[in-house]
Amino acid sequence: MSYQTALPIADVINDVHRKKYLLPAIQREFVWSTFQIERLFDSLMRDYPINSFLFWKVQKEHVKEYEFYEFLRDYHERNKRHNPKADVSGEEEIIAVLDGQQRLTSLYIGLKGSYAYKLPRKRYDNKQAYPQRKLYLNLLSPSEEPELQYSFLFLTQQEAESSDDSHFWFPVGEILNLKELHQVNQYLIDHVFFAGYDKEKANFANLALSKLNQIIHLKPTISYYLETSTELDKVLNIFIRINSGGTILSYSDLLLSIATAQWQYKDAREEITKFVDEINEIGGGFNFNKDFVLKTCLVLGDFSNIAFKVDNFNKSNMLKIENNWDEISKAIRLAVNLVSSFGFNRDTLTSNNVMVPIAYYLKTIGLPENYEVSTNYIKDRADLKKWLIFSLLKRVFGGQSDNVLRVVRKAIQEKPGGFPLNHIIDQFKGTNKTLLFTDEDIENLTWSKYGQSNTFAVLSLLYPSLDFRNKFHIDHIYPKSRMTERHLKKKGISKENIETYISYTDYIGNLQLLDAIPNIEKQNKDFDTWLAALYDEDEIRDFRKKHYLPNVDLSITNFIEVFNKREKLIVSYLKKLLQMETSSDVIQETIL
């Protein structure tokens, strides 16, 4: 490995564009934000060092022995995060980037590409939430950010066109066409010097654009070392040494890189990243990642050591995972479909690791078809759902989760013939991971509020018979829009009670799960009025039982009594359920 003569950025970017520079399969994916890219360009303009690169020269006769990927040019936060696989012919040598991918991709996107990220308060599945943005430089004034000198920003075309006395947005990629200084001067003459800007701004524009031309075309900025070895093991060791010493590369990226290099028949990176995207689209959407899939592979592969360590991703383990990948991925997919049928999604599943034992159990029973709907597995599904909710509410996967996963896996192995919920609970008795609920624990559940991630889990315990394949909303029984000082005064609520009404509004005592259509129809109507208009006397009686409503006046003037008595009904039911006692029609006994 030797140090080479530094290269200008333009030369390297043109070779990236020609696919002379590629990424080896052991590389991770692009993770930099727009701000990191903007700061990189600012550093270049200020002559700050951006560290050296490490390239691997692969001779043309060896090119086809490895997998390579192209650089991302037009990054899209949802639809284009994965590098396309490179089509290498082996007719030319290539340069593979071992260290510096994030910086080089950032330069490529800034000079030749675009970056689309989600706008705030927009749904992640809304296509309009990801406008395309390109990198621009304000030629008229410095950055307003205290740590930056130059104002580089990713803007939409419409934003870039909104110039004023202090902003003229130059498309940074255009500098590739301004190779000579006279071309820079001509651009400034055409767009700045005769546009009416004052001398100070014109001078800044001249300095900024001339500097950008210099750092892109003239200054030898890309300093690099070149590795020429054809031994993959040596290259892999170099890569690990570079990337595992700090936090720059996440462990899951490193482990996936090693898996990719060691799988024989499948492309681990392609298989796993595609699979993560697939399971994240199930139901209402989830937020699984490569860490989750790799950890599940270790558990479902029945390896004794399931820690995230390079040693556990040795060649024999990787080949076992590859040989069982179809079964492992099917188990994960079935588990996600099952949990989705319980009504959970990315917002309400507060721990991904809780899914691992579910996938393991489904694998041990042979991955039955239609498990989530088959009448043969009604009790099994009920026990699995309890395990899921108990674990989420008790936060048993907080902190180090490996020991929990090992204990649950062993419990499943020891008790075939159904999901061993009670046996698992017994394994954690007396530990800080207990799944048993004290009276205090249950009382604390009633403090769950609308909008909190664990609230759905609590409510789903209260509605064990709901078919969550249908859409349900978390609904305020007494509408939040009615819980205002102005409205409550009109209803004759005393001043001392108004504060209580408002403070109680978002807690479990005023929340229910309601079918989407009735909830839309209910909107902000007074609860007792809506109920009387929709149901007859017998149906109202059933509604009370289903939603833990006490047999008292349900008008808003009686809200505090309804809230307090409903909360007691909920606590009584949860104690029977969570403390594993016989729940012999608790609701009916209490309400009637």
pLDDT tens-place string over residues 532-587 = 988 898 999 999 999 999 999 999 999 999 999 999 999 999 999 888 543 334 43
The per-residue DSSP string of 498-553 comes to HHHHHHHTTBGGGEEEEEHHHHHHHTTS-HHHHHHHH--HHHHHHHHHHTT--SS-
Mean pLDDT, each 10-residue run in order, the chain (592 residues): 86 94 82 94 93 88 81 91 83 87 95 92 78 95 90 94 88 95 92 81 93 95 87 69 52 68 81 94 92 93 85 82 96 96 92 96 95 92 94 89 94 93 94 92 94 92 83 89 92 93 95 80 82 90 94 94 96 88 40 37
Domain identity same for 362 and 503: no
Domain identity same for 287 and 170: no
Residue 240 confidence (pLDDT): 65
Is 274 contained in some domain?
A: yes
In the block, tokens 């199930």 appear at: 282
Query: pLDDT by residue (tens digit) across 258-277?
Result: 777 678 888 888 899 899 99
Domain identity same for 255 and 390: yes
Residue 265 confidence (pLDDT): 85
What is the C-alpha separation between 321 and 323, in angstroms, rounded?
5
Indicate the DSSP class of residue 72. P
Structural domain span for residue 210: 2-224
Query: Quick one: which of 227, 17, 242, 197 has its CA closest to 109?
Result: 17
**Distances in whole angstroms, Cα of residue 29 to Cα of each of 94, 117, 192, 488:** 19, 16, 39, 55
CA 541 from centroid of its chain's CA atoms: 43
Domain identity same for 208 and 266: no
The per-residue DSSP string of 206-248 comes to HHHHHHHHIIIIISEEE-EEEE----HHHHHHHHHHHHSSSSS
Residue 246 confidence (pLDDT): 41
Domain identity same for 47 and 175: yes
Structure tokens at 94: 């290539």
Is 240 contained in some domain?
A: no
Query: pLDDT by residue (tens digit) across 400-419?
Result: 789 999 999 999 999 988 99
* pTM score, whole prediction: 0.66
Strand, helix or coil for residue 67:
coil
**Distances in whole angstroms, Cα of residue 295 to Cα of each of 7, 75, 260:** 41, 28, 16
Report yes or no: 572 and 579 within 8 Å, Cβ to Cβ. no
Is 95 contained in some domain?
A: yes
Domain identity same for 406 and 501: no
Residue 247 confidence (pLDDT): 39
Is 239 contained in some domain?
A: no
Angle between helices 527-534 and 537-546 (to 10 degrees): 130
Residue 588 confidence (pLDDT): 39
Is 146 contained in some domain?
A: yes
Domain identity same for 450 and 387: no
What is the C-alpha separation between 379 and 376, in angstroms, rounded?
8
What is the C-alpha separation between 209 and 190, in angstroms, rounded?
13
Is 78 contained in some domain?
A: yes
Counting Cβ atoms within 10 Å, is residue 340 exposed (0-12), middle (13-18) or buried (19+)?
A: buried
What is the C-alpha separation between 496 and 521, in angstroms, rounded?
32
The per-residue DSSP string of 420-433 comes to -HHHHHHHTTTSTT
Is 459 contained in some domain?
A: no
Domain identity same for 429 and 555: no
Is 243 contained in some domain?
A: no
What is the C-alpha separation between 340 and 183, in angstroms, rounded?
59
Domain identity same for 261 and 218: no
Residue 433 confidence (pLDDT): 92
Report phi then psi at 108, rounded to 5. Answer: -65, -45
Domain identity same for 487 and 422: no
Q: How many domains is the chain partitioned into structurally?
A: 3
Domain identity same for 14 and 121: yes
Indicate the DSSP class of residue 131. -
Domain identity same for 470 and 413: no
Counting Cβ atoms within 10 Å, is residue 298 exposed (0-12), middle (13-18) or buried (19+)?
A: buried
